[in-house]
């Protein structure tokens, strides 16, 4: 039984809608929170070699410092979303920020890699809460018709944090009187300030439920199934072959856990993911499109950064700066489209345009090599960024506009979950393709594995002999282009999916007002 046919025991304490000034004040706390959570995920990228060396970790530990947070974040998003439908959203946002603070402090004080990985899991749980809850709280304050303008701000903050993280991390590590521990400490005062701002400025109608039951068994099965799948994607191709015994065990175990989760979720009164929401055509289509956008968002940043450093010979800081055209495209398109949607109430055209531009952007990037001009690259990346910016937030808007208010938290978190899941699987799978392609190219060219093919870390090309350096740069350039060639049909599929989404008028009431109205309607049997 899904929540669509269960009586809601919600009681609203109605209050006046927040003014635009009050919304902006509350948004300052929300945006600060999401900024530091994204910063935490990206700030360590340039600092990791220093961190792992000082803590005497291995290459596998290097991977797990990154993966641990991503696993915790992705797997916890559905549970946070469900809790948002049951208890105080304001309290949940503050709790997720508190978890982030605890994780950051423990990470910064870590004396060994085990403590650091545990701290990253705690950070990931906090980041998962923010990923799911910020957009849910925004919908509680702002009607869909006006949400576009503010969703553009969210996209801009996301873009700035994504590009600022590696740059800040590099500066911190290179500053002798700071050191790598400040990569974790730097977000703490901002997270604490965010908690205080939200306490003062966020005024949502109180939602109380009698007999609240959280489906902990379903949450455990979903978390276990997804975590096992993500661990497999992370390790396959490096620790063992994609087609192997461990693959069969891990994929089979994951599918079994998820199948059991579906069975449990279909029978409980308060499922973590109400299966009934997938009967909604808009939700199902936006979930598929969000997963494909996740591949674009993560793949575009991860592999382009490596391409800039290995193929073109730029430093990590320079590589971060070279990604600015894509970030600028994302920032401008999400902000402008949001304002236009608020003004006109029309939104599907921006999803379609985003799908077209994302496909074109990937197609253009599939033509790059080690000799491509940075100006040409910048143009290609800007096209991709504009496409992703038009799609990312507006998919959430389309879904939020088309579900009952009582399921808005679950629908929003499901979209965020599949976007993260698509990004994680996409990065791992495309990374395996990159490693294999580089190894094959270098073997054909006769440079051998010493130059950094296969499962080895990316080489420092400046330390290689000139003739080998050229071979390695060409190999990485060709392999990166191959990745974008693979991503192009995935982007085209996202466009096809978007074309089938029906445009519906944007509602003019907030989710809190809709929930109060729905609670007064007679229950359908």
Express each pLDDT in 166-178 by its tens digit: 777 777 777 777 8
What mean pLDDT is reported for the chain?
Answer: 78
Say whether both 193 and 315 belong to one domain. Answer: no
Span 70-76, average pLDDT: 78
Residue 450 is predicted with a pLDDT of: 43
* Per-residue confidence band for 495, with pLDDT thresholds at 50, 70 and 90: very high
The residue behind tokens 């192997």 is 244
Say whether both 27 and 143 belong to one domain. Answer: yes
Residue 10 is predicted with a pLDDT of: 40
Q: What region, left, alpha or beta, does residue 139 occupy, with left being phi > 0 and alpha being psi -120 to 50 degrees? A: alpha
The Cα–Cα gap between 1 and 5 comes to: 7
Span 316-345, average pLDDT: 82
Select, from the ranges 401-405, 440-444, 490-494, the one with the highest average predicted confidence (pLDDT): 490-494
Higher pLDDT, 55 or 521: 55
Say whether both 255 and 307 belong to one domain. Answer: no
128 inside domain: yes
Least confident of 346-360, 365-379, 386-400: 386-400
Whether 501 shows a pLDDT value over 70: the answer reads: yes
2 inside domain: no
Residue 359 is predicted with a pLDDT of: 93
Closest CA to 455 of 443, 470, 468, 438: 438
Say whether both 95 and 21 belong to one domain. Answer: yes
Of 249, 271, 293, the residue that ends a domain is: 271
The Cα–Cα gap between 57 and 167 comes to: 23
Span 208-233, average pLDDT: 75
E strand or H helix that includes residue 384: helix 374-400
Tokens representing residue 105 in the block:
């402090």
4 inside domain: no
Contact call for residues 390 and 329 (beta carbons, < 8 A): no
Contact call for residues 436 and 241 (beta carbons, < 8 A): no
The Cα–Cα gap between 507 and 343 comes to: 13
Backbone φ and ψ of 11, nearest 5°: -125, 125
Of 271, 289, 308, the residue that ends a domain is: 271
Whether 452 shows a pLDDT value over 50: the answer reads: no
Q: What is the pTM of this model?
A: 0.75
11 inside domain: no
Residue 9 is predicted with a pLDDT of: 37
Say whether both 253 and 378 belong to one domain. Answer: no
Of 271, 295, 313, the residue that ends a domain is: 271
Domain enclosing residue 281, as ranges: 277-510
Taking only the tens place, the pLDDT of each residue in 263-280 is 988 888 777 777 878 888
* Per-residue confidence band for 23, with pLDDT thresholds at 50, 70 and 90: confident
Residue 58 is predicted with a pLDDT of: 60
515 inside domain: no
Q: Output the CA–CA distances (angstroms, integers) from residue 433 to 248, 303, 438, 483, in the order listed.
A: 20, 11, 9, 7
When divided into structural domains, the chain yields a total of 3
Please give the share of the chain, as a percent, with pLDDT higher than 90: 13
Say whether both 72 and 174 belong to one domain. Answer: yes
Taking only the tens place, the pLDDT of each residue in 234-256 is 677 767 777 888 889 999 999 99
Contact call for residues 301 and 326 (beta carbons, < 8 A): yes
The Cα–Cα gap between 45 and 308 comes to: 15
What CATH code is carried by the domain that includes residue 480?
Answer: 1.20.1250.20
Whether 260 shows a pLDDT value over 90: the answer reads: yes
Span 397-407, average pLDDT: 80
Residue 412 neighbours by CB under 8 Å, 6+ apart: 81, 132, 135, 136, 139, 396, 399, 400
Span 164-189, average pLDDT: 80
* Per-residue confidence band for 63, with pLDDT thresholds at 50, 70 and 90: low
Say whether both 91 and 233 belong to one domain. Answer: no
Higher pLDDT, 378 or 200: 378
Contact call for residues 309 and 458 (beta carbons, < 8 A): yes
Backbone φ and ψ of 256, nearest 5°: -65, -45
Say whether both 65 and 155 belong to one domain. Answer: yes
The residue behind tokens 């993280």 is 165
- The angle subtended at Cα 413 by Cα 412 and Cα 416, nearest 5°, is 90
194 inside domain: yes
Residue 193 neighbours by CB under 8 Å, 6+ apart: 29, 32
The Cα–Cα gap between 400 and 511 comes to: 9
The Cα–Cα gap between 198 and 28 comes to: 8
Higher pLDDT, 194 or 41: 194
* Per-residue confidence band for 363, with pLDDT thresholds at 50, 70 and 90: very high
Say whether both 261 and 294 belong to one domain. Answer: no
Residue 459 is predicted with a pLDDT of: 55
Please report which residue ranges of 110-141 form alpha helices under DSSP H: 113-141
327 inside domain: yes
Say whether both 452 and 348 belong to one domain. Answer: yes
Please give the share of the chain, as a percent, with pLDDT higher than 70: 80
Whether 449 shows a pLDDT value over 90: the answer reads: no
Closest CA to 305 of 284, 327, 285, 283: 327
Span 373-393, average pLDDT: 89
Q: Cα dihedral angle (268, 270, 272, 274), rounded to 10 degrees?
A: 80
206 inside domain: no
Span 362-366, average pLDDT: 92
* Per-residue confidence band for 21, with pLDDT thresholds at 50, 70 and 90: confident
Least confident of 12-21, 156-165, 435-444: 12-21
Say whether both 421 and 285 belong to one domain. Answer: yes
Say whether both 333 and 311 belong to one domain. Answer: yes
């Amino acid at each position: 039984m899904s929540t669509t046919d269960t009586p809601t025991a919600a009681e609203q304490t109605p209050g006046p809608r927040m003014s635009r000034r009050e919304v902006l004040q509350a948004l300052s706390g929300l945006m600060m929170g999401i900024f530091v959570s994204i910063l935490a995920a990206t700030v360590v990228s340039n600092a990791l070699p220093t961190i792992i060396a000082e803590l005497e970790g291995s290459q596998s530990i290097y991977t797990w410092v990154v993966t641990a947070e991503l696993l915790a974040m992705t797997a916890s998003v559905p549970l946070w979303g469900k809790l948002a439908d049951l208890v105080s959203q304001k309290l949940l946002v503050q709790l997720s920020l508190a978890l982030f603070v605890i994780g950051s402090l423990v990470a910064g004080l870590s004396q060994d890699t085990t403590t650091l990985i545990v701290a990253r899991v705690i950070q990931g749980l906090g980041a998962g809460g923010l990923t799911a809850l910020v957009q849910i709280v925004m919908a509680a304050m702002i009607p869909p018709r006006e949400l576009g303008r503010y969703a553009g701000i969210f996209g801009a903050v996301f873009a700035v944090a994504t590009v600022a993280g590696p740059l800040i991390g590099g500066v911190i590590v290179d500053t002798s009187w700071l050191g790598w521990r400040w990569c974790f400490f730097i977000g703490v005062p901002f997270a604490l300030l965010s908690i205080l701002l939200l306490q003062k400025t966020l005024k949502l109608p109180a939602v109380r439920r009698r007999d609240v039951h959280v489906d902990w068994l379903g949450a455990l099965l979903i978390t276990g199934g997804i975590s096992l799948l993500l661990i497999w994607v992370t390790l396959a191709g490096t620790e063992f072959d994609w087609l192997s015994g461990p693959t069969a065990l891990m994929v089979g175990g994951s599918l079994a856990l998820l199948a059991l989760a579906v069975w449990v979720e279909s029978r409980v009164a308060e499922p973590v993911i109400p299966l009934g929401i997938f009967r909604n055509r808009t939700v199902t289509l936006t979930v598929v499109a969000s997963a494909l956008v996740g591949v674009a968002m993560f793949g575009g940043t991860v592999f382009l950064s490596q391409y800039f450093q290995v193929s073109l010979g730029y430093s990590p800081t320079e590589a971060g700066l070279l990604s600015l055209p894509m970030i600028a495209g994302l920032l401008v398109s999400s902000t402008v489209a949001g304002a236009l949607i608020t003004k006109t109430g029309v939104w599907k055209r921006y999803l379609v345009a985003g799908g077209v531009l994302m496909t074109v952007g990937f197609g253009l990037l599939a033509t790059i090599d080690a000799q491509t001009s940075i100006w040409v690259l910048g143009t290609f990346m800007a096209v991709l960024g504009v496409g992703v910016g038009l799609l990312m937030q507006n998919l959430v808007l389309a879904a939020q506009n088309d579900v009952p208010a009582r399921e808005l938290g679950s629908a929003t978190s499901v979209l965020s979950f599949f976007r993260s899941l698509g990004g994680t699987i996409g990065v791992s799978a495309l990374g395996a393709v990159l490693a294999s392609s580089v190894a094959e190219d270098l073997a054909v060219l006769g440079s051998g594995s010493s130059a950094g093919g296969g499962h080895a870390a990316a080489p420092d090309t400046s330390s290689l002999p000139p003739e080998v350096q050229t071979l390695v740069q060409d190999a990485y350039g060709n392999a990166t282009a191959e990745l974008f060639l693979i991503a192009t049909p995935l982007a085209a599929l996202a466009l096809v999916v978007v074309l089938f989404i029906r445009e519906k008028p944007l509602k003019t009431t907030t989710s809190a007002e809709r929930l109060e109205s729905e609670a007064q309607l007679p229950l359908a049997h």
